[in-house]
Chains A and B, each alone.
Chain A
Amino acid sequence: MKKLLTAFSLTLLIAGCNATTAEKPTSLQAQYEVALKNAQAAVEKAAAVDGEWRDIRWKKSKKRYLPSAIKAAEAGDYKKALELLEIATFQAEAGYKQAMEQKNAGPRF
């Protein structure tokens, strides 16, 4: 009985997973593709004003949100990819904003 149950729940699980991968991927993937473009543009914009933060894509960073997002998407995990892109975009935009706010920074003794 117990075996049956686990088998049953397993099939359910698999079915459930299949259902999500069968139905949602196009929309998630499409979302991802848009988000990736946005993130990349935001990162370039921050880099252009020397405002890029450490963990977006620098090779020695342990986090590397942008390349990690691309990796996650390649592995089919669009949900994770979208989460990582959200962070990368936030950091890029904040870095750009910071650089703009600091434009007139100078000595103050």
Chain B
Amino acid sequence: MTKLTKRLGPTALALCIGLVLSTQVSAADLEAGKKIAFDRSKGNCLTCHHIDGGTLPGNIGPPLIAMKSRFPDKDKLRAQIWDATAINPHSIMPPLGRHRILSEKEIDLVTDYIYSL
């Protein structure tokens, strides 16, 4: 028992910190992510997706709403954004990370923003 708590203690602590860190996305970061997502020369997600607050959205891909319920695992969401063709080789969605259309940092910001929708 004591062994277990000793072992679990640090893990739980790390988990807690991780959780706090990962859920704590600042409003400024969300705004930055939104900007990248909407920018035609950056993410340009509106070309294909409806996103609340975006003008003239396309309808090639599904509307990006209720993302937490569709992607409980944020890493999977990031993976979809980083390279949609890894999941569906014929996908029309550009491989934003794999082809370096966005930087890793920008992908993080966009993922946080999309995850908040």
Contact = CB atoms under 8 A, between A and B. Distances in A.
Interface of A: 87, 90-91, 94, 108
Contacts, number: 7
Interface of B: 90, 98-100
A86 to B, nearest CB: 10
Contacts of B99: 94
* A interface majority secondary structure: helix
Contacts of A94: 98-100
Contacts of A108: 90
Nearest to A94: B99
Nearest to B41: A62
Question: B-side binding surface: helix, strand, loop or mixed?
Answer: loop
B90 A90 contact: no
7 contacts: A87-B100, A90-B100, A91-B100, A94-B98, A94-B99, A94-B100, A108-B90
Nearest to B85: A101
Nearest to B90: A108
Contacts of B90: 108
A94 B99 CA distance: 7
Contacts of A90: 100
Nearest to A101: B89
Contacts of B100: 87, 90-91, 94
B53 to A, nearest CB: 28
